[in-house]
Chain A
Amino acid sequence: MTALLPLVILCPLAVSIILLLSRGAMPARATCGLVALGMGLCAAIAVTEAVTFLTGPASTGALHVVLWNWMHVGGFGAQFALTLDRLSLVMMLVVSVVGFLILLYACAYMIDDPDIARFFTYMTLFVASMELLVLSSDLLGVYVGWEGVGVCSYLLVGFWYHERPNALAARKAFVVTRIGDALFLVGLLLLATGVGRLDIGSVLAIAPMAPRPAIALGCFLILGGAAAKSAMVPLQTWLPDAMAGPTPVSALIHAATMVTAGVYLIARLHAMFLLVPGIMFLCAVIGFITLLLAAGAAMVQTDIKRVLAYSTMSQLGYMYLALGCGAWQAAIFHLVTHAIFKALLFMGAGSIILRVHHEQDIFRMGGLRKSMPVVFYAFLAGAAALAGLPLISAGYFSKEMILTSAYNVAPLFWLGGVFGAFLTSIYIFRCVFITFWGHERTHPHGRTTIVEFVPLVILAVLAIVAGWVQTPEVIAPMHLFSTLLAPVFGPLPEEHGGGMLLLIGSIVPIIGVSIAWALYKPRHKAPVPLETPWTRTLRADWGFDALYDVLFVKPYFALARLNRGDAVIGFFGAVAWVTRTGGAMFAHMQSGQVRRYAGWIAAGTVLALCLAV
């Protein structure tokens, strides 16, 4: 069974290489078949591995597969090795299964694109990198996957490279996350120097003995890397622009997997983070601020994908809040449910966009409920899960789990989280009501194919029922998920104030949906987006983008442009100029006239005498 584990990475990688080498010569259908086969195999192996692992003797421990020694110099060593424990198992399943469904969907979505082979080359390479990221037992190996997914994200955001904005968005996404990656890299340098190796086991074992400031700095740097990858404030500006990529890309990379890599990383290193409460608190605060800012920005977006992008940021904020509160299980639980319902929402949005001539403005849609019922119900299930409608949605249970833990750390976090949930239910149902109710403003063409339906329906069902694996004590004594992760994170702590919090948490989304209905229910007049200076600022990400533009981007390019000729070269040029002109000047003195020489000698003597006296 250990022999099978590398295949989870190899299957998508092999597909990617085959597609790359085929240089686009493969017909679209064959490409899709190959992708479906490779990803299906990957998902099947992942599930088999998971089942055998959980039923096997080492089910509470970890399974190690050493692939090869990467480098070994001086006192430092790194290897390519995989670890399967219960945490990486959950992540592997999310990446493989959700990834399989999204790539299946993408087959239908991209079938008419002439560059479909290039698309799937990137997509499968992404899946392989992501699997490496979650399975690697060495932090340097994690970094390989980490950068790999970053590059794939860049390639896919800029997939339609003909349009300059897409290319710019791609570059922005990569550079902003690279800032975090550099921090992460420095964190790795710190850990490697202290520990001598970077495999997670050794790092976690040595961390408690290490000096606290060093650990704090290491955690801070890793948090920085994670935050940039997950689009947390203040490095969040890249995610909304990253929606320039094809919609399946948004579903897979910018909702379900890559952006949650940071959450996984911190959960993976939770034993180290527990040593430094200050960094934990910072993590919670970052999550808290992001969840509120992003929810606010989502309220006024007009582009359906941007609504979802901001909601992703906001939901990731919940996860960071949970991490900061030490509620590891809750964070991972929300990661899983979010992967399901956000992928569902993006794919629903993608189906809509395909049918309405690539229109993305929700105010130009409307009345789509009748023309595309399956998509409608699927989207509704996703929206319900995102809003956290009580009992019938997966998001409800995971969000409640986070809110309860937040309450136990600081009631303010809970209050903000509930307010965020309130905003969430308003903005997503604003989107639902405008898009699916009222008059048809763009007539949909074509049909949604069966290949799109299958993943939509599966995920829609999951978005409804997946939450039941872990319910609050008050509702039912169901703790499958926390029991699953207990060997990694330890048992769930005691909850306080469960019933009352739960009640408030259940009512708030319903109120939110009602308000959304009151505001955006179908009327005679077509709805128009609110246009005030406030909403414009909000829509533009609270002005962060403009601020960074003025503070960093413009000066960086403008000053570089100014110094294009390189001042250092200029300096040497000046030296050369002085030499040349000086030479030319003094050459005139050498006139050959003795009288002049005598004059100069006299002048020099006088000057010397003057100086002497």
Chain B
Amino acid sequence: MFALPALIALPFLGGLAAWLVGLRNGSARLPWLVSLLTLLLEALLLLGVTGMTGGSGWRGHFAMPWIPLFGIDFRLDMDGLSLVMLWLNLAIAVPVLLTSSREIKERPGLYHFLTLATIAGINGVFLSTDLFLFFFFWELMLLPMFGVLLIWGGEHRARATLKFFIFTQGSGLLMLLSILALVFVHVQETGQLTFNYFALAGTGAMSRAAFPIMLGFLIAFAVKLPIVPFHAWAPEVYAEAPNGGTILLAGILGKTGAFGLIRFVFELFPAASAQIAPVVMAFAVVGILYCGWLAVAQDDMKRLVAYSSLSHLGYVVLGIFSGTRVGMEGAVVMMVAHGLSTSAIFLITGFIEERTGTRDMRRLGGLWPAMPQLSAFAMFFACALLGLPGIGDFVGEFLTLLATWHVNHVMAFFAAAGSVLSSIYALTWMLRVFYGPPVFAGEAPLGRPVAGVMWTLGAATVLLLVIGFFPQPLLDLSAPAAPQQIVSLAGGAR
């Protein structure tokens, strides 16, 4: 019964504990252990939730009144899609905390608190089925992120944070307006004031104002994901954030946008979103090619990966807006695989930065002999980026392309051309960083590989291979449940 709220409360409380522990004696180790323990408990909890609920459709529920005057409930529901995203969130949290133990020297307790609070907020976003609650968590996951950026970011962190703030808050405002408009329309039609997702699902789609309301949601999620041309904040923020923050941003925070597209744009307004789908898909294709092209010109490794990440998210958008089941499931697989592979690559770039003191590829090169194991992992994840079959990313890419082909051949053709561009930038990254004559020969030795990093990379490798070769369980699990399914269920209960 309380499993779902516990999933949100646990990271938050664990983070609080980590902060308090850090305040008392100031060492980085103790907060780190507390966060690790939190993640472990979270994993156990999630395992219980996964095991508890069989079958498809909506798997778990929780509801209690929050602000009855406005019809706002504390309402959480979990379907297969949210379950998958919760697991992904947990999986991304591991490398985030792992890098922090090496990177964050200053106020580690606070850092752990902010990171875990973000994770709690993200969990809330994935679970809440009350629109007000959803907005609440949406803000809750962003606020600590601003803190992470502002306190531990790079040289130009103030500027990056401002950009991030303006883009996300501006678009968040649009979403709030859309939510209020939707509620207002609902009141007009039924006379009932409620923020309940399932109740609103019925009216929203029918309303004449569906299109502008949907647009508000769409833009908010498009900024978060981001979809070109709303990506202007992303490369800079990715580059300026501390490595843990970057992993969090690229690995999971952006996915909340995709999740929102499925849950709130596509399922609340099927007709309106089908109407705008060709436009969004066209932007996605442009984004795939444009960002894939720009990735190759970057000198900063993190910016390269940021652009590659933007390029790959285009496939997610294509899958969602193809409006087919194949595309939707492909998009989910793509999100999971992309989350894992991108986090792994950011982990690698972070490790290289730690050892060589730079991310600038003009000053790197020939790292292979010095770091053979890390280079082998880099090669694997470069292959994941370029969509090698057998790795999870390919399954997502193929299914989304297949769905796109159903809808529009030309778009599918150009999106497939993105695989050429991805091979160019992925191999250019390999070329500039790992191949060629060693640059650091004779200088300070690059040191031994760190077991924790290697094990995390190894785990990501195994997971990606499993998804690549046996995607079926994930595909079966991840199908989003339709809001209509619960209307009858809830109606019966009341």
Contacts and interface: CB of A to CB of B under 8 A. Distances in A.
Interface of A: 20, 23-24, 68-76, 80, 140, 143-144, 147-148, 151, 154-155, 158, 161-164, 167-168, 170-171, 174-175, 178-179, 181-182, 185-186, 189-190, 192-193, 556-557, 560-561, 563-564, 566, 568-569, 571-573
A70 B409 CA distance: 25
Contacts of B20: none
A564 B419 contact: no
B417 A161 contact: no
B417 A560 contact: no
Given A71-B472, A175-B423, A566-B294, A148 B402 contact: no
A41 B186 CA distance: 71
B419 A185 contact: yes
A556 B236 contact: no
B453 interface: no
Contacts of B470: 68, 70
B328 to A, nearest CB: 9
B11 to A, nearest CB: 32
Contacts of A24: 372
A566 B291 CA distance: 9
B419 A182 contact: yes
Given A179-B420, A185-B419, A568-B228, 5 more contacts: A161-B366, A171-B427, A171-B431, A568-B229, A569-B232
Contact of B402 (A23, A193, A556): A193
Interface string B420-453: 1001100110110011111000000000000000
B416 A74 contact: no
B416 A560 contact: no
Contacts of A167: 430-431, 435-436
B373 interface: yes
B107 interface: no
Interface string B383-409: 100101110000100110110011001
B366 A162 contact: yes
A557 B229 contact: no
Contacts of B293: 556, 560
Nearest to B324: A74
Nearest to A144: B389
A469 to B, nearest CB: 36
A72 B427 CA distance: 31
B388 A147 contact: yes
B176 interface: no
Given A76-B326, A175-B420, A560 B428 contact: no
Contacts of A557: 296-297
A164 B390 contact: no
Contact of B413 (A68, A80, A186): A186
A175 B427 contact: yes
Contact of B437 (A164, A168, A181): A164
30 contacts: A70-B470, A72-B472, A73-B330, A76-B326, A80-B469, A140-B389, A144-B390, A147-B389, A147-B390, A148-B388, A148-B390, A155-B379, A158-B435, A162-B366, A163-B436, A164-B437, A171-B430, A175-B420, A178-B386, A178-B419, A181-B419, A182-B420, A185-B398, A185-B401, A557-B297, A560-B294, A560-B296, A564-B299, A568-B232, A569-B232
Interface string B360-392: 000000101100110010010001001011100
A162 B409 CA distance: 43
B59 interface: no
B398 to A, nearest CB: 8
B296 A182 contact: no
A159 to B, nearest CB: 11
B231 interface: yes
B94 interface: no
Contacts of A168: 431
A38 B11 CA distance: 49
A171 B379 contact: no
B298 interface: yes
Interface in B271-310: 293-294, 296-299
Contact of B297 (A174, A190, A560): A560
A20 B406 CA distance: 41
A457 to B, nearest CB: 37
Contacts of B469: 70, 80
Contacts of B71: none
Contacts of A171: 424, 427-428, 430-431
A123 to B, nearest CB: 16
A161 B324 contact: no
A143 B390 CA distance: 10
B475 interface: yes
A572 B488 CA distance: 46
B471 interface: yes
Interface string B110-141: 00000000000000000000000000000000
B401 A189 contact: yes
Indicate the size class of the contact surface on chain B.
Answer: 35 or more
Contact of B436 (A164, A189, A563): A164
A572 B405 CA distance: 33
A158 B375 CA distance: 14
B368 A161 contact: yes
Contacts of A162: 366, 369, 436-438
Nearest to B399: A73
A80 B427 CA distance: 28
Contacts of A147: 388-390
Contacts of B329: 73-74
Contacts of A151: 383, 388
Contact of A71 (B399, B428, B437): B399
B26 interface: no
Contacts of A556: 293, 296, 424
B232 A561 contact: no
B420 A73 contact: no
A73 B419 contact: no
Nearest to B413: A186
Interface centre among A23, A73, A175, A186 (most CB of B within 10 A): A73
A74 to B, nearest CB: 4
Contacts of B434: 161
Given A161-B434, A164-B437, A192 B402 contact: yes
Contacts of A23: 372-373
A69 B395 CA distance: 13
A561 B362 CA distance: 14
A73 B412 contact: no
B326 A73 contact: yes
B291 to A, nearest CB: 9
Given A147-B389, A189-B402, A556-B293, A71 B427 contact: no
Contacts of B294: 560, 563-564, 566
Contacts of A20: 376
B325 interface: yes
A73 B372 contact: no
A494 B27 CA distance: 87
A557 B236 CA distance: 21
